[in-house]
Amino acid sequence: MKRIDVITAGEILVEIMRKGTVVSFLEPGIFLGPYPSGAPGIFISAVSRISNKKIKTGIIGVSGNDDFGKLVIQRFKNDGVDVSCIRKTNITTGVAFIRYLPDGSRKFIFHSGAAGLLGPDDIKEHYFSSLKLLHITGSSLFISETSFQACKKALSLALKKKAIISFDPNIRKEMASFEKNIKKVNLFLKHTKILFTTEEEISILFGRKSKESMIKELQKMGTEIIVIKKGDKGSEIYSGKEKISIPALKVKVVDPTGAGDTYAGAFVASLLQGKNLKICGEIASITASLKCTKQGPMSIPDYNEIKKYIS
């Protein structure tokens, strides 16, 4: 039986990006891609790459039996991610079309395709036999009801194994109304030990309270490590009474898509390898920053590429 330390479950996608920031989706123009994508996949590839494949990783999802699906699966294989629990179907692989606006904001158009077909039957108990950590993203809860049920089953199996639960609400308003799905998020939040989020997300969860009071509420719920991602302003890590501020590495940004999921994966990889929270944050921030210097959401550096930047 395979040893799998870290598992994620959710949407498998390719990304197709509009070139430049001027031409809208309403008119013809040049697109770049396809690039392997999907928040769960970006995360799990980052765990594998930053641990130099020492942490055994696996992803559960559904892809089309097409070239887009083959592209993503091959990328997982190259990164050392186990793909034995990816189900192939004749429905086309999911696609995310992305356009950046001049102010740095993004517009998404999602075609869920096979990605939304993930269901409870895809979650196999034997796959969780050596599990140390399960990571779930909010986008996987919102993409379809069957995907939500699959993630619920994965959560149940992970809790049975006393594994760490890592969660990123990963709000995508194009996929679903976050406010309507707050119950889904809260179901996972109450079991979360490591939370990756943003100030905007936690203000939606807890109302317009002070950041300090929101952190205290999360800690009362049992969250042990809270990471607030702040883009080019870095990140903040809260654990008990400790607050650690981590700066972002200054880089020339080419494509920031996937940086948050890259950060989460690099952080988890470092934590499971016994590094302290400050070093985990530094490694995660460096990894996410360097990812932004290349096109494509899975343009993730490995540990050998980032170690020269670690203080």
Q: Within a 10 A sphere around the Cβ of 223, how many other Cβ atoms?
A: 22
Residue 226 inside a domain? The answer is yes
State pLDDT tens for residues 7-57.
Answer: 999 999 999 998 887 777 888 889 898 999 999 999 999 999 999 999 999
Tokens of 214: 């929101």
Based on the structure, what is the number of domains in the chain? 1
Structure confidence at residue 119 (pLDDT): 98
Instruction: Find all residues with CB under 8 Å of 171, minimum gap 6, and list them.
Output: 138, 178, 200, 201, 204
Residue 281's domain comprises 6-293
In a domain, 306, yes or no: no
Domain-located, residue 1:
no
Does some domain include residue 11? yes
Q: What CATH code is carried by the domain that includes residue 66? A: 3.40.1190.20
Q: How far is CA 126 from the centre of its chain?
A: 23
Q: What was the pLDDT predicted at 83? A: 98
**Is residue 159 situated within a structural domain?**
yes
Domain for residue 57, yes or no?
A: yes
20: closest CA among 232, 254, 259, 250?
254
Copy the structure tokens of residue 21: 């920031």
In the chain, which ranges are continuous DSSP H helix?
Answer: 39-50, 67-79, 138-142, 145-160, 182-189, 199-206, 211-221, 259-272, 277-291, 303-306
Using CA atoms, how far apart are residues 54 and 80, in angstroms rounded to an integer? 9
The chain-wide mean pLDDT, for the chain, equals: 92
Is the dihedral angle over the CA atoms 48, 54, 59, 65 positive or is it negative?
A: positive
The predicted pLDDT at position 211 comes to 80
Does 308 reside within a domain? Answer: no
All residue ranges of the chain with pLDDT < 70 are 1, 172-180, 208
Cα distance between residue 114 and residue 240, in whole Å: 41
Can you give the pLDDT at residue 172? 61
DSSP-assigned letters across all residues of 83-145:
-TTEEEESSPPEEEEEEE-TTS-EEEEEE-GGGGG--GGG--GGGGTT-SEEEEEHHHHHS-H
Residue 289 lies in a domain: yes
Backbone phi, psi, residue 15, to 5° = -110, 135
User: What pLDDT is stored for residue 177 in this prediction?
Assistant: 64
What is the pTM for the complete model shown?
Answer: 0.94
